[in-house]
Amino acid sequence: MGKEATKIQEGGVIDYTAGGTIANGDVVPLADRVGVALDDAVSGETISLALDGVFEVTGTTADTFTIGTLAYFDAATRMVTTDAATGSNISCGIAVTAKAGTAAGVVNVKIG
C-alpha cells in the first residue's frame, strides 16, 4: 500500500489568500473555524494565518465567559460570543480568561 499522506508543514500557521482587505490581527472566518491574520493584505495576496494560539478578542457585552466556555466568532459584530446559533457564528475555541456578562471587555480565546 502506498503512502496516504505527506507532511507539508506544521499547521499552526498556514498560507492564506486574502479575498479582500485584511489587517494584521483580524479574525478571519473559515468554513468551520477561524484563523488570525499575522500580516496585512489586499485581495489576492497571500498572508500567514494562525490556526492556533491564544488571542485577546473583544467579547459581546451581554455574554459571560469563564475559563473553558466555548467561544464563537460573530462576523457581523466582529466579537466573540457564547451563542452558537445566531447568524453565521463560527466556532473559534475556548475562553482562557473570564469576562462578566454585564460589561464590555475582552476575553482571551484559545483558537484551534
**What average pLDDT score do residues 74-86 get?**
90
Q: Model-level pTM greater than 0.75?
A: yes
Give the pLDDT of residue 104: 82
Average pLDDT over all residues of the chain: 92
**Local confidence band at 1 (pLDDT 50, 70, 90 cut-offs):** low
Give the pLDDT of residue 3: 83
Report domain extents, the chain.
13-50, 53-111
The string of pLDDT tens digits covering residues 12-66 is 999 999 999 999 999 999 988 999 999 999 999 999 999 999 999 999 999 999 9
Residue 45: partners with Cβ closer than 8 Å, 6 or more residues away: 17, 18
* The three three-digit cell numbers of residue 27, written as one number: 479574525
Give the pLDDT of residue 90: 94
Indicate if the pLDDT at residue 88 is higher than 90: no
- Which of 13, 27, 14 is closest to 76 using CA atoms? 27
Indicate if the pLDDT at residue 86 is higher than 80: no
Helix and strand tally (H, E) in the chain? 0, 9
Instruction: Specify the length of the chain in residues.
Output: 112
Report the C-alpha gap between 59 and 71 in whole angstroms: 9
* Residue 21, burial from CB neighbour count under 10 angstroms (0-12, 13-18, 19+): exposed
* The three three-digit cell numbers of residue 75, written as one number: 462576523
